[in-house]
Every structure is written in structure tokens, then in C-alpha cells.
Amino acid sequence: MENGSDSEDDKPLVFKRSNPSVKQNHVKPDVKKSSMQKPDGKSGRQVSDVRSPNGNGHDSNIQKGKTVPSTKGSPVLSPLASPKVSSSSSKGSQVKPPVASTKASTSGADKSRQHFQQNKTATVKSEKPSGKPKDEPDSGSEDSDDDKPLNSRLPVGGSKGSISEVNKRPGSSGPASSAKPEIGVKEEDSEDDIPLSHKFKQKSNAGESSNAYDSEDVKPFASKHQQNGTSARDNVKNPSPALNKRPSAEVKCSGQSPVKKAKHTAASTPVNGKKVPVRAEPKKEDDDSDDDNATISQRVKKTVTPVSKTSDKKKAAVSVSSSLNKVNKNSKKITKSTQFSKSLKVPPGSGEGQKWTTLVHNGVIFPPPYKPHGVKMLYKGKPVDLTPEQEEVATMIAVMQDTEYMTKPVFRENVMNDWKKLLGRNHVIKNLDDCDFTPIYEWHQSEKEKKKQMSTEEKKAMKEEKLKQEEKYMWAIVDGVKEKVGNFRVEPPGLFRGRGEHPKMGKLKKRIHPSDITINIGEDGPIPECPIPGESWKEVRHDNTVTWLAYWLDPINMKEFKYVFLAASSSLKGQSDKEKYEKARKLKGHIAGIRKAYTKDFANKDVTKRQIAVATYLIDKLALRAGNEKDDDEADTVGCCTLKVENVEPSPPNILKLDFLGKDSIRYQNEVEVEIPVFKAIQQFRSGKEGSDNLFDKLDTTKLNAHLKELMPGLSAKVFRTYNASITLDDMLNKETKGGDISQKVAVYQHANKEVAIICNHQRTVSKSHSTQMLRLDEKIKELRDLIEELKTDLSRAKKGKPPLKGSDGKTKRNMNPESLEKKIAQTNAKIEKMERDKEIKEDLKTVALGTSKINYLDPRITVAWCKRYEVPIEKMFNKSLLAKFAWAMDVEPTFRF
């Protein structure tokens, strides 16, 4: 409450108010959720209110109960929360010095938190030093406008009819409005912001929103997006490029979707963070110019914290054994350097590249050797004898019998090529078409069935046995703290399943042996024992500038590696995650200036500059990925810099129709209203080119990112995605959370989460049982409706003193008094309403994946602070893994704003 509130809250509020109704989007029908739409906004203030109120008892209780830590006050928090962490994290950007210290402190802190409340205290202290409260964000406050995603500014398709129509999805709202808000923000920003939005608005929607404010703008994206989702998958063919995504499922959608609306806003991703920090310092200063205070403040904090940490660290080490903890720490102390050259590289300025000081782990575990089953496949109708190695591949193929992969020529050819290498030149098996894997397939099915039929005890015993074998590999001790290892199991051999039309699908992924694996471990610790007798590791390194524990060459692409890293809950990952979000928050302070700059360059005489401006605009507004070049032996997908002429179709006066396959061959389809200069520039870029030529022929991700770095230290294309996703969530939560019970608040959150997912084009295939599930819900609703009719009849009879009629099942019902009947009717009605709401949401989200954005794009502090403000138990929003992953964010102040 204290601090944070300020800035941020304000901003949002403002917007909201202005808009009143608008919310841009609502527009579309889709919006289902009631919550969402609300026009009003609540104002920011809620925060304060919230707290005090405390809501219902239950909430609070709930919270307490659940959460581990239950720290006193804040329900939200969980154990982890210690502030320190955060502080430490900050370090990245800031200075190194802290580093060492950080670690220590952190670790200690962490531990404490985990287990006890004390944590709090401790934590608190550390943080505070800076004086500020945790929230760094201050800066934010002003930003309001800028902050908002571009989308918001431009309505993007929303308004337009086309767009709207397009979207089927609920979300789309459209038009967004964009009004910009600018308001408070810095002057510059505001202007910048405004321009875009204004333009749009004016043109497109016009006014509707003129007022709309940014906030709305923000949302807009979502609305537009939706459609994509749907169609996307189908895609495969659609897009000109024509790729498919996953062989199997893909097809779905196509038909439908027309284009949807535009998405908007930009986005970019987040992340990375590690090293970045280093440079940051110096640069930052520069940046700041624009930035807001926030940044600064943040920095401050960071620095401070570190100190405390130092001490902690040691402690941590001690505790190491403690099982649970994930504690964090990391830090970068300087240790010796690594032996390798790498170390050299690392260090630019700040923190050197050191990632850890001591690292102990047990290596990796290998899949069991192949056990021949002896079941013979048929070739031209006759049983064939195969060696175990040959049979292993035959079994891999057999298991894929009922997948779509088997219908793909590329897959079949690749499999056969690799299998032939094992069969030898003179083998009877010459081609796949004459192979009949049915016997093996059936054997496999029966094995599966057997496993399923095992008694619970047997299953339990097997599970325990497996756990026993794996336990030692599950943990690593990093700087004295026990941390979970992410993927300690070496990938088993199998057939490569690429996504989309991958040229290598079906290739044999050979078995990985210890001699393929390079281990990375602290110099002082014992070298992990090779789990396979008689074999040995390929190499053992001691490189503390990297975080991997082991790696092997990817057998499908021998130029690439497969790494074993710590789990997401580790402090090393947590710190990097926090740095990612801090960078995105820093962008908030520069965004106005950046938008202003690229807007100015839409008409730059220098083609390269013009392309950079337009590309940056698309990345900002539509949350497109950077788009690195790809090799011929990969699926043909694109990102911003690799967009082809045929992927972007201009439709006068200023609509762009985007249609392409992006990461994982997920189709991106959108119609967006853009500013006239952008529209014109795109037309120029397309002129004289073939459909398959690059739209941005003077551009690649290296040039683009180099340019972005000039605008803000550490800035790269993906940061826009993180920024837009998080600012959208923050803004929507603050505008749309009204009172209500927990489930209503959660619905608001889900709505915001959905908008973000749409912006980022995070899709999922519709589950096989979706339609059945919907039918089932309909049935249940009907049953309830019938029940109500029956109850009403009984009620009127009861009022007359008559007994109830027999139930539909013919049974006699007991007598109920009118009051009870009325109560039951009300309850049933509430049940129906809830089911209908659930049904709508389910339909609405059938193609939208909320998880990806929650895991990778939404600053968890936004969620934690919101939960604290509205008394929503954090466990309602984060599952166990997310709670662990976001331990670093748990102690954020309720007033935190992105």
C-alpha cells in the first residue's frame, strides 16, 4: 500500500475513468466473462481499500491455510517470498559488487523463508535498506500511457468491422480504442503514445473510443487476436507457405477463422537475462533519461540488497542439506575463473559471467537398455527375424502406427533411411510399404493394458522404486543450497517428431551414452559417478560461467546441444527471471520515446531505417517474435524479420492482413489497422518482389537488436513481448477488478490472462473430448432446469398445503416447506448460472493456452500484489510449480505495479 500505489495506480485509474464505457473491446460479443467487460473501472485505489477490508473471512482463511508460509499478514506470500531475492536479482543490472554479497544473503534468506516466518523479518530488513519499499516501479507511475501496449493505442482491427467479425473469439473486442492516455506520463511519452492511438482512433474507429484510454488499448489486442487462435492450428495449409504444424492434430481449424481481428499491441518477449545485467549499469544511466524513476529506484534497491545477501550465503551453505529449500542464491560471486576460455568472454562489466561458486550434483540418469520382446513383424506377410537393434527401431515405428506421422512421406522416408542403416544392405526389408507392424503394435498395446491393470499397490511400488533410483539425480547443491535439477533424465532413443513440416521428422534419435556427455561441476566436488558400469563421461568441465550441469550433442542436429539445467524453481533461474521482468519494466520508461522515434522513421529516406522502424512497430504492436533466419533443414516458419511478402497483405486504406506460420508452426492470422505511414511503407517494401521474398530485405535480427540496444541498454525484440504482456495484465487487473467473491476476481484475472495469451498468439489444440464435454454440460444444465420446474410446481403445491408430486423417477419426494423449496430453487439457479459461465469460458478458451504466458510473460509480482490487494489466495492463481518458480516474487508489496 504504501508506496507503490502511487504511480501506477494512478495511471490506470485515470485511464479507466476516462473510458468509462469503452473498454474498447467489449465490443465483441465474445467477451464473455461478465467481469471483464465492465466498463467502469475501478480505480486504482482499490488497493488500499482492498486491504483493509479484508474481505471475507474465508478468503483470508483460505489463504492462510494454504499457503505455506502463511506469513502472517499477507496471505499471498508463500514461503519464498523473501525480498532479498529480488534485490539480489536486481543486481544484474546494477552492479556487480553486490554479487557476492547477494548470494550469501539470499540463500540464507531463502531458507529461512521457506520454513518459517522469520523469513519475513529477515527479508524485510534486507530489502528495506534501500529505503524504498520493494516496489521499484515507481517509475511506472507516470508512464501510464506509455506503458500501455501499443495495441491499446491502435484499435487494430478491433473496431473495424472486418476485424470484429473476424474474431469469433470472445475476446476480441475490438476496436479498441485507443485512446491514449498519456496523461500522466512524461510528456514525451504521452505524446508519443498518443499519436499512434490518436491516429488510429480517429481513423479507424473513430472515436469511439477516443477516450478510451490506453488501458483499453491494451486490451484490444486480445480481442483481435482471438481468432488466430482458432484458425491457427489448422493452418497448416492455409497460409501460403503452407506448413503444417504438428502432423497430426493440426488440421483443425482452418475453416473457420477468417481472420480475426487484429491483435495489437506489441509485445515482445522477455527475458534472458543473465548477462545482460552487466552492461546495464553504465548504460542504464543513459537510458534513464527516459526512464522513470522506477528504474532508478529499482537499481537502488538492488544494490542494497545484495549486501545483506552476502552474509546469508554462507548460512545457506550450511543448511545445504535442508531438503526442501530451493533457496536461491546464486549470485555471482567471482570465483575463480573457469578454466576455459569462456570465462574470459563473459565478463564485460559487471558481474563477470560467474554464475556459481560451488556446484555439486550427481550427473544424469540414462534410460534402461532396450529389452527385446521377440515379437515378429511381417514383411510381405511373412515374419521377419530382427536383431535387437533392428527390432528396437521396428518397435518405434510400430508405436507410431496410428499417428499422422505415418502418412507423411518425409517421415516415412527418413525413418526408412535410418532403419536401413541398421538393417544392412542385404536385408529382406526393403521398403516401408511392405512392412506390417501390427504384431508389434498389438504387443505394445497389450503391454500398456497390463500396466494399466496393475493393482494400486504394484503401481505404487514401481513408482517408489523409480523414485529411489532417481532421487540422487534430482538435486544439485549450488553455492551450498540444495536446488532441484530440471531434466536429469537423458532423452531416450526414438524417432524425431518435429513440429510442422519438419524436414527431419522420422529420423532416428540414437541412444545417448555416457561417452556423449559432458559434465559441468565445481572443481572441489566429487565427479559424478558414471551410472553405466564400464563406461565414462566424454568430458568433465568446471565452468562457473554457465548454468548447465551437463550436455550432449543433439543427435538430430549435431551442431546443437541438449543441456541439463536446474529446475525453474532454482534461484539461478529465478534471478534470471526477475531480471527479465526488470528489463521489461525498464522498457516502460523508454517506450514512449521509442515509439516516437520509430514513428518518425516510418518515412525515413533510408530504407534500412524505415524497415527497422516498421519492424519495431510490428513487434511492439503485435507482439511478434524477432524472427531469426532458419536453415533449410528446419520447418519453414517466420518471425518479424523473416516475414515474406506473401505473409503481409495490405488492404487499403490501412489494414494489414498477416498470415504466417510462427514458432512451432503455429499459424498467426490477424488483420490489423495500422498507421498510414506504416501501411505505405509496407507497400513499398513489397513492391517489385515475389511472394516468397523477404519483406524486410535490409533487415535481420542482429541489426534490429543492435538498433534496439541504442535505444535502451539491454533491449532486444523479445523484451517487447514481455513488456506488453505484463503491462496488459497489470492494467486490466487494475481496471477490471471490482469487488465480488473470489471466483469473480479470479474470472477477472483469467480474462486478463486470456487477453495476453491472445496477444501472444498462444494456442492449443482443441481437446478431443471438447465437444463431448460441452454436450455434457448442456445436459446437466437441462437437468437443473427441469429440476427447477419441478421445484416450482412443488412450491406452488406446498403453498396450498399439498404434497409434492412424484419425481420423474417415480419416487415419492419428502415434504418440504415453501421456504426450503424457494431456497433450493435459488441454489439451483445459481448453479445453472455458474455452469453456463463455465461453459462459456470453456468454449472461449478451447483454443487459447493460458499457461505459456503465465509461465513466461506475466511478471508474477503483478499477480502476487493483486492477490494481496484483493485478498485472493495466491494458491488460486499459482499451482505448486509456479509458486516454487516465483518464490522470488512472493514478498512484493501489495502496491506493486508493473
Partner DNA sequence: GGAATGACTTGCCTTTACCTTG
Partner DNA sequence: CAAGGTAAAGGCAAGTCATTCC
Task: Give catalytic residues, as residue numbers.
Answer: 857
DSSP string, 313-363: HHHHHHHTT-SS-----------PPPSSHHHHHS-SSSSTT---S-EEE--
Among the listed residues 487, 536, 604, 608, the single contact to DNA using CB under 7 A = 487
CA distance 343 to 822: 75
- What single letter denotes the amino acid at residue 647? N
Between 67 and 852, name the residue whose CB sits nearer to DNA: 852
Between 269 and 358, name the residue whose CB sits nearer to DNA: 269
Span near DNA by CB under 7 A; candidates 35-43, 337-345, 528-536, 886-894: 337-345
Between 559 and 811, name the residue whose CB sits nearer to DNA: 559
DSSP string, 819-881: HHHHHHHHHHHHHHHHHHHHHHHHHHTTTB--HHHHHHTS-HHHHHHHHHHHT--HHHH--HH
What is the nearest approach in angstroms of DNA to the Cβ of residue 603? 25
Among the listed residues 348, 525, 531, 818, the single contact to DNA using CB under 7 A = 348
How is the beta sheet containing 359-361 ordered, strand by strand? 359-361, 475-478, 481-484
Binders of DNA in range 620-649 (CB under 7 A): 625-630, 634-635, 637, 639
Binders of DNA in range 870-889 (CB under 7 A): 879-882
Burial of 272 (0-12, 13-18, 19+ CB in 10 A): middle
Binders of DNA in range 553-592 (CB under 7 A): 554, 556, 559-563, 565, 573, 576-577, 580
- What single letter denotes the amino acid at residue 842? K
Between 371 and 559, name the residue whose CB sits nearer to DNA: 559
Binders of DNA in range 375-404 (CB under 7 A): none
Binders of DNA in range 504-533 (CB under 7 A): 509
SS3 content of the chain, % helix, strand, coil (to 5): 50, 5, 40
CA distances from residue 255 to 239, 273, 764 in whole angstroms, order as listed: 12, 40, 16
Between 179 and 746, name the residue whose CB sits nearer to DNA: 746
- Based on its alpha-carbon atoms, the radius of gyration of the chain, rounded to whole angstroms, reads 29
Site string for DNA, 119-158 (x = CB under 7 A): ----------------------------------------
Between 153 and 246, name the residue whose CB sits nearer to DNA: 246
Between 471 and 629, name the residue whose CB sits nearer to DNA: 629
What is the nearest approach in angstroms of DNA to the Cβ of residue 752? 16
Among the listed residues 203, 764, 869, 897, the single contact to DNA using CB under 7 A = 764
CA distance 136 to 585: 9
Between 246 and 315, name the residue whose CB sits nearer to DNA: 246
Among the listed residues 34, 60, 202, 248, the single contact to DNA using CB under 7 A = 248
DSSP string, 218-283: HHHHHHHHHHHHHHHHHGGGSSTT---SSTTGGGS-TTS--------S--B-----SSTHHHHHHH
Q: Does 339 bind DNA (CB under 7 A)?
A: no
Question: b/e string for 523-543 if b means 16 or more Cβ within 10 A?
Answer: eeeeebebbeeeeebeebbbb
What is the nearest approach in angstroms of DNA to the Cβ of residue 329? 15
Span near DNA by CB under 7 A; candidates 2-10, 264-272, 593-601, 606-614: 264-272
Among the listed residues 497, 586, 588, 610, the single contact to DNA using CB under 7 A = 497
Could you tell me the three cell numbers for 822?
424457494
Between 356 and 866, name the residue whose CB sits nearer to DNA: 356
Among the listed residues 204, 269, 305, 358, the single contact to DNA using CB under 7 A = 269
Residue 429 is given by DSSP the state -
- The torsion defined by the Cα of 671, 676, 679 and 681, in degrees rounded to 10, comes to -160
What is the nearest approach in angstroms of DNA to the Cβ of residue 72? 25
- Among the listed residues 672, 680, 583, the one whose alpha carbon sits nearest the alpha carbon of residue 621: 672
Residue 606 is given by DSSP the state S
What is the nearest approach in angstroms of DNA to the Cβ of residue 663? 4
Binders of DNA in range 409-438 (CB under 7 A): none
Among the listed residues 151, 310, 765, 895, the single contact to DNA using CB under 7 A = 765
Among the listed residues 118, 407, 772, 827, the single contact to DNA using CB under 7 A = 772
Binders of DNA in range 206-245 (CB under 7 A): 233, 245
- The torsion defined by the Cα of 670, 672, 678 and 680, in degrees rounded to 10, comes to 90
What is the nearest approach in angstroms of DNA to the Cβ of residue 525? 18
Question: b/e string for 763-783 if b means 16 or more Cβ within 10 A?
Answer: bbbbeeeeeeeeeebeeebee
What is the nearest approach in angstroms of DNA to the Cβ of residue 118? 26
- What single letter denotes the amino acid at residue 732? M
First to last CA, the chain: 14
Between 187 and 402, name the residue whose CB sits nearer to DNA: 402
Binders of DNA in range 350-369 (CB under 7 A): 355
Between 145 and 291, name the residue whose CB sits nearer to DNA: 291
Binders of DNA in range 32-91 (CB under 7 A): none
Among the listed residues 249, 406, 784, 788, the single contact to DNA using CB under 7 A = 249
What is the nearest approach in angstroms of DNA to the Cβ of residue 678? 20
Span near DNA by CB under 7 A; candidates 373-381, 610-618, 682-690, 766-774: 766-774
* Size of residue set near DNA by CB under 7 A: 101
CA distance 767 to 347: 47
What is the nearest approach in angstroms of DNA to the Cβ of residue 305? 20
What is the nearest approach in angstroms of DNA to the Cβ of residue 560? 7
Site string for DNA, 270-309 (x = CB under 7 A): xxxxxxx---------------------------------
Binders of DNA in range 158-177 (CB under 7 A): none
Q: Does 683 bind DNA (CB under 7 A)?
A: no
- Among the listed residues 821, 596, 591, the one whose alpha carbon sits nearest the alpha carbon of residue 726: 591
Among the listed residues 125, 380, 421, 463, the single contact to DNA using CB under 7 A = 463
Query: Do the Cβ atoms of 878 and 843 come closer than 8 Å?
Result: no
Between 376 and 609, name the residue whose CB sits nearer to DNA: 609
CA distance 877 to 829: 27
Between 554 and 840, name the residue whose CB sits nearer to DNA: 554
Q: Which residues have CB under 8 Å from 669's CB, separation 6+?
A: 227, 228, 231, 232, 235, 238, 239, 257, 259, 260, 658, 659
Q: Is 352 left (phi over 0), alpha (psi -120 to 50) or beta?
A: left
Is the N-terminal amide bond of 241 cis, ω within 30° of 0? no
What is the nearest approach in angstroms of DNA to the Cβ of residue 32? 16
Query: Do the Cβ atoms of 670 and 263 come closer than 8 Å?
Result: yes
Q: Does 489 bind DNA (CB under 7 A)?
A: yes
What is the nearest approach in angstroms of DNA to the Cβ of residue 278? 7
Binders of DNA in range 648-677 (CB under 7 A): 662-666
Q: Does 763 bind DNA (CB under 7 A)?
A: yes
CA distance 88 to 100: 10
Residue 696 is given by DSSP the state S
Binders of DNA in range 834-873 (CB under 7 A): 842, 849, 851-853, 855-857
Site string for DNA, 694-733 (x = CB under 7 A): -------xx--x---x----x-xxxx-xx-----------
- What single letter denotes the amino acid at residue 124? V
What is the nearest approach in angstroms of DNA to the Cβ of residue 204? 27
- The torsion defined by the Cα of 121, 127, 128 and 131, in degrees rounded to 10, comes to -170
Among the listed residues 762, 846, 869, 897, the single contact to DNA using CB under 7 A = 762
CA distance 450 to 442: 12
Query: Do the Cβ atoms of 327 and 258 come closer than 8 Å?
Result: no
